[in-house]
Structures are given as structure tokens and as C-alpha cells.
A and B are shown apart, each in its own frame.
Chain A
Amino acid sequence: MTGVIPILRMGDVLLTTVHVELRDAIAEAFQTDVLSAIEKSRATGLIIDISGLDMVDSYVARILAETGRMARLMGTEAVLCGMRPEVSATLVRMGFPMGTVQTALDLDEGLALLRSKNGLTRIE
């Protein structure tokens, strides 16, 4: 299942766009792919673009938040970007605010955030 979700490298930033539902095997492969890409590239930033997802359930949300935390453990700042309004409303109403993962409106914002590093979107 690896390689279903492509991971691109732009300088020292890894970019991945989740466009399919992160189900079981795909989710696992996605995490493995991201972590090994970080290991190989020594990237300082990771952007996960989820603008293509119109539904995120608690499982997918957990996978995404987890991946962000794992990346940070490896010294890579992770930013989740492009979440749709209805997705964020649903997640919060379900009581799943996704912990401390950093977020940005879109890809541009995500890159700007990584560049500034101590961007204001980070909330401890």
C-alpha cells in the first residue's frame, strides 16, 4: 500500500496531499512513507494538505495528528493545511480538536508558517 499518497520534496520541506480516505493499510503506509521520507531527506518542515478531504472522521483525524507528532519527534515541524470549514466544525463538535498540531489556511500559508517557524498559529 505504500506510495498511494505521494510525498514531494521542495527544498527542505516535504509536501504531501491526502486525497484518498486514510483507511487502515493506507493510513499505516502513509505514516511509514512520511517518516522514512523525513529520515532520508532530513527535511525541516512537513506540510500535509487535506483540502481534498470533505470528510474526516475521528480515526483519520487521529492518524493525521499522530503523524504530525511523530514528525516533530524527528525534528520536523509539521503543518496541517487546507481543512474545510465543515470538517473543522464536525471535528470540534465531536470533541476531537486534534491536540497541538499546527494548522494553516492553505499551502501558501503553510509554507510561510514553516519559514517564520515561530508563527502565531502554534498554540501550546
Chain B
Amino acid sequence: MDHRRYMSLLKLDEAELRARMSACELGPEDLERLQRLRPFAEKHTAEVVNAFYELLLSHPQMRKFFPDEATVRRVKRTQSDYFLGLFEGRVDLAYVEDRLRVGAMHERIGLAPKWYLAAYRKYLDLLHTLLYAEYPPAEARAFFGSIKKIVFFDMAIAIDTYIAANLETIQRHQVALRELSTPVIRVHDRVLLLPLVGAIDSVRAHQIMDTVLVRVVEEKAKCIILDIAGVAVVDTKVADNLVKTTASVRLLGAQTILTGISAQVARTIVQLGVDISIMHTRSRLQEGIELALEMVGKTIAPKNGASEGARP
């Protein structure tokens, strides 16, 4: 997915950027310090990046992301740019977009946040050692403080990108699932069937009702059979939704037949005290179809010569 999508998903505008910066206490003096560290960073880029990949490549789980030498060379170059980016002394929307791109790319190749965080710890460790070796302790501490701020700022963005990407995937699946969950079938002229399977939550109930009503009008249906044999749990809510759907279908001038009612479900409905008297009910789908055909003035009859006993 485009990293620009993530920008809008995370609602990253100027205000959000400022909020994130102040949450990490990342201020102008930090940016100025980071900029001053630029020559130091340039000097040690190769060293840091190499040590960093040594850690990553020592893990079998990680190595599959870097199958060959060419890939390693390429990601090392990207990593160098990324590393030097920390010392630009500039944090604006363009910077965030750049960071988002990295996060989005990691998400796409399936690199889990645990590796990302482990890699960052390595970064901090390496820089800590190098800074204290090069600067007097007080100065090194100040520099390291600023680095920590921008690193945590980056990490927050990367983690949010992972979460946003996962949420997107879940939402996409939900939409697909909803479309698959109300297959209204035309059984015969003006007779529809909706086999319901699985759990019915309020969103799905809403969807069922809308689909049923539209299809009834489209097909000029006289009746629609709702088969609930595959519905795991029929509770007050589900029953109430079925009654509501029936009432709406009736307003259109059609009727509902409820079938697939097991003994357990019948007991539950009665014990819950749900009034489903406005629906026609039959225990099995076969009986429901027979009733529906009767409503449209048809019957299922044995062929000439065939014995009645042939029917189960």
C-alpha cells in the first residue's frame, strides 16, 4: 500500500506532528545538536550499518529477508541513508513521510516489529559506545539524549504504521466476509432463499436486512425463506433481528418463512419469550420450500408412474 495512505490513516498533519514531537520532548535544541553530530555520523555510518546487519544476519529468521549478497548491499545503502537521516536536524512532514515509507515497506515484506525494535536497540548501543569514546561524558550524554528522542519518535511512527496496516487488512477482510455472508438465492419464480451460517452480530444483521429487502423488490419475490440451520447461537438479539426483517419484508408485500429450527433453538426462542408469531416457521428447509411454493400457487408432485414412496 502507498505510504501516503498511511499518512492520512495516522492523520499525520502539522498539528499531529507537533504533538508527536512534544510527546518525545523533541525540540529545536535537539535538532540543532543532531545537525552538529552529522560529521560524526558520516564518519561512522559504515561501521554502524555493518554491525547492525551482523546482528540481523546472525538470526536464521531474519536471514530469509536477505537472500543474497546483492540484497544485503542494497539494504545497507538504504540503511545508511536512513541512519544519516537522523542527523538532518530537520523533522517535518517530508521526514515523517520518509519514515512511513520505511515502516510500510517492512510491513509489506512481513518484517515483524520485534526485529525492528531489536535493531533499534542495537543502533542505540552502537551510538552510545561511539559517542562516549569521542566526546567528554557531559557532551556525550546530551548528544545521546537527543538521539534517543528522535529514535523513539521514529519508532512510534513505525509501530503505528504496522498497526494501521493490520487494521486495514482486517477491515478489508470484514468487507469481503460481509459480501459473502448474505447469499440470497432464487429457488423458484418469486421464491428466495437465504441460508444463514455462522454468528450473526448487529452489523451482519443490518446487512442481512438490507440485502433481503433489496432482493425481494428486485426479484418481485412473494416469499423469502430464511434457513437458520447453520446459525450457531440464536439469542434474543438474533431472534429480534429476524422478527424485524420479517416485519420489513411484510411491509413490502412479501412473506418470510423461517426454517432450520432445531429443537434446541425452538426451546431457546420460547424460553427467551421472543414473539415470532409474525413469521411462518417450519423445522426443515424442505417443508419451507413446500410452503413457499404453496404461496405462489405451486406444488411438488410426483411424476406420472413414479410412486409416492420414492420421496424421502
Indicate which residue in A84, A89, A98, A120 contacts B255 across the interface (CB closer than 8 Å): A120
| Bound form: Cα–Cα A120–B257 in Å | 12
Scan residues 82-105 of chain A and give those whose CB is less than 8 A from a CB of chain B. Answer: 83-89, 91-93, 97-98, 103-105
Contact of B250 among A85, A103, A106 (CB under 8 A): A103
Main secondary structure of the interface of A (DSSP, over half): mixed
Known pairs A105-B253, A123-B278; A92 contacts B217 (CB<8 A): no
| Interface residue? A121 (CB, 8 A) | yes
Q: Tell me whether B158 is interfacial, beta carbon within 8 Å.
A: no
**CB closest chain-A residue, reference B190:** A105
- Using a CB-CB cutoff of 8 Å, which residues 222-270 of chain B contact chain A? 222, 244, 247-255
Min C-beta distance of A44 to chain B, whole Å: 19
A65-84 vs B, Cβ < 8 Å mask (1 yes, 0 no): 00000000000000011011
A103's partner among B210, B221, B252, B295 (CB-CB below 8 A) is B252
Q: Is A109 an interface residue (CB 8 A)?
A: yes
* A92-B251 contact given A85-B213, A105-B217, A120-B295, CB 8 Å threshold: yes
For A79, the closest partner residue in chain B by CB is B253
Chain A residue numbers with a CB within 8 Å of B222 are 105
Q: Would A88 and B220 be within 8 Å (CB), given that A97-B247, A103-B253, A120-B295 are in contact?
A: no
Cα A53 to Cα B18 in complex, Å, equals: 51
B278-299, CB < 8 A from A: 278, 295
C-alpha spacing A87/B213, complex, angstroms: 10
Per-residue CB contact flags for chain A residues 112-124 toward chain B (1 = under 8 Å, else 0) read 0100000011010
A105-B251 CB under 8 A given contacts A88-B213, A92-B244: no
Q: How many angstroms from the CA of A93 to the CA of B245 in the assembled complex?
A: 9
**With A and B bound together, what is the CA distance between A86 and B249 in angstroms?**
11
Contact B220 A89 (CB under 8 A): no
Residues of A within 8 A of B249 (CB): 88
User: In residues 139-179 of chain B, which contact A (Cβ within 8 Å)?
Assistant: none
Q: Across the interface, which residues of B come within 8 angstroms of A89, CB to CB?
A: 209-210, 213, 248
* B250 / chain A contacts, CB cutoff of 8 Å: 97, 103, 121, 123
**6 A–B contacts from the bound complex (CB under 8 Å):** A80-B251, A88-B213, A88-B249, A103-B253, A105-B252, A105-B254
Binding site for B on A (CB under 8 A): 80-81, 83-89, 91-93, 97-98, 103-106, 109-110, 113, 120-121, 123
Given pairs A85-B213, A88-B249, A92-B248, 13 additional interface contacts (CB within 8 A): A84-B217, A85-B214, A85-B217, A86-B213, A88-B252, A89-B210, A91-B248, A93-B244, A103-B251, A105-B252, A110-B253, A121-B254, A123-B278
